[in-house]
Amino acid sequence: MKFIHIADLHLDAKFDNLGQIEGIPTKRRIEQRKAMRDIIDYIKENNVEILLIAGDLYEQNYIKKSSIEYINNLFLEIPNVKIFIAPGNHDPYISNSFYATYDWAKNVHIFKEEIEKIDIDEKTHIYGYGFTDFYCKESEIEEIKIEEPKDINILLTHGTLDGGTEEREYNPLKSNKLKKLGFNYIALGHIHKPYYNEEKNQQIFYPGSIISLGFDELGKRGMLAGELKKDSINIEFIPIDKREFEEKEIDVTDLSSNEDILTKIEEMQLNDENFYKIVLVGKRFFKIDIENIKKALGISNIIKVKDKTKIGVDIETLQKENNIKGIFVRNMLEKQQIENLDKDFIEKAIEIGLEVL
């Protein structure tokens, strides 16, 4: 049985973190649609039988009806493909959601909070669970009893695998418990980093986000294409996003001006299709003006410039000097201790003060 496993498209996301350059958020939303178009074309060309969507297909707070119509029209193009959706924390099945109010294609099945079993055929079964709120602290998924353990059994849901305290509100799941349930394939969403082919006899999979939502999602983004048999699983990651988000570092230690930084950026070999974040590191011996650097950049795919440099003086040595600079540094460090101020903040203040002195 051939299938596609996707999750976390977040259709119609605002892309606020990319809003510094006009038009880019809108461009990314169009590219989200293009990604789904490419997935449907792949399904057609490769005789895929099942499409598994493990939540966060869209953003409940921002989704447009026109976007839902676009997606549903794509589903109508593959009427013989069974499509299963397990809503997540960004697209829960709530009363005013499009899951509840829209007339979806007949080949689409949407899971709700009651764990449901669907027979795909006589020997293949899918169990699913969907969010019906923006939070889910317990789903009882780990208590599932498979009815036909000798058949092929799939689990589809959205949730956090072995997460920390901050993830307990998003369907927390334990890998050791899931593995004991006996599913041949567990299709998860929520974690945006792909997780596949990383252990022997792997049962649990995350495809990651379909397209990158920002610089916390570096590298290739796409879907998992698989062929499932009772005694074997073949999984391949297929890149879908035509862009990648990349970080590039510039060490400013040997540089003398903001113009030197701009020259370094202009000399970089950048892919026109990708989006970049420039991170400045090393020791600085001049005042770095991030805003003017951004304004001077004529490269539209450089989205962010981040200053992570350290002050280019030895503060420990300087505070011991018996002069006005030493007194100033000692006073600033004392202020940091008394008011429990951030170290980087104080270092910036010391740098500005020393420049004035």
Residue by residue, DSSP assigns 170-230 as B-EE-HHHHHTT--SEEEEES--S-B-S-STT--EEB---SS--STTS-S--EEEEEEEET
Which amino acid, 189?
G
Is residue 320 located within the same domain as residue 234?
no
Is residue 59 located within the same domain as residue 194?
yes
Is residue 346 located within the same domain as residue 200?
no
Is residue 228 located within the same domain as residue 271?
no
pTM, rounded to two decimals: 0.87
What is the pLDDT, as a whole number, of residue 355?
A: 74
What domain range includes position 315? 246-356
Backbone phi, psi, residue 11, to 5°: -55, 135
Question: Which position has the token pair 């740098």?
Answer: 351
CA angle 147, 52, 72 (to 5 degrees): 130
CA angle 329, 332, 337 (to 5 degrees): 125
How far is the C-alpha of 237 from the C-alpha of 231, rounded, in Å? 20
- Specify the pairing of strand 50-53 against strand 124-128: unpaired
Is residue 29 located within the same domain as residue 113?
yes
Q: Which of 223, 239, 255 is the last residue of a domain?
A: 239
Is residue 17 located within the same domain as residue 110?
yes
Is residue 194 located within the same domain as residue 251?
no
Q: What mean pLDDT comes out for the span 45-73?
A: 98
- Specify the pairing of strand 222-229 against strand 2-6: antiparallel
Q: What is the DSSP letter of 91?
A: S
Is residue 294 located within the same domain as residue 342?
yes
pLDDT per residue over 270-290, tens digit each? 998 999 999 999 988 888 999
How far is the C-alpha of 328 from the C-alpha of 343, rounded, in Å? 16
pLDDT above 90: percentage of residues in the chain: 74
Is residue 65 located within the same domain as residue 158?
yes
Least confident of 18-22, 56-60, 184-188: 18-22
Residue by residue, DSSP assigns 273-308 as TSEEEEEEESEESS---HHHHHHH---TTEEEEEE-
Is residue 263 located within the same domain as residue 196?
no
What is the pLDDT, as a whole number, of residue 164?
A: 79
Q: Which of 190, 218, 239 is the last residue of a domain?
A: 239
Is residue 20 located within the same domain as residue 82?
yes
What is the pLDDT, as a whole number, of residue 353?
A: 84
Query: Residue 19 — very low, low, confident or very high, per pLDDT cuts 50/70/90?
Result: low
> From residue 26, how far is each of 8, 14, 21 by CA, in Å?
18, 8, 11
Contact 29, 15 (CB under 8 A): yes
Q: Which of 239, 260, 280 is the last residue of a domain?
A: 239
**Nearest Cα to Cα of residue 284 among 256, 306, 259, 265:** 256
On the question of pLDDT at 20 being above 70, the answer is no
How far is the C-alpha of 97 from the C-alpha of 113, rounded, in Å? 15
Is residue 39 located within the same domain as residue 125?
yes
CA angle 108, 104, 81 (to 5 degrees): 30
The partner residues of 232 in beta bridges, in order of sequence, read 229
Q: Tally the domains of the chain.
A: 2
What is the pLDDT, as a whole number, of residue 319?
A: 84
Q: In what helix (H) or strand (E) does residue 110 lie, and over which residues does it extend?
A: strand 108-110
Q: What mean pLDDT comes out for the span 306-311?
A: 89
Structure tokens at 257: 């001006």
Contact 11, 58 (CB under 8 A): yes
The partner residues of 50 in beta bridges, in order of sequence, read 3, 82
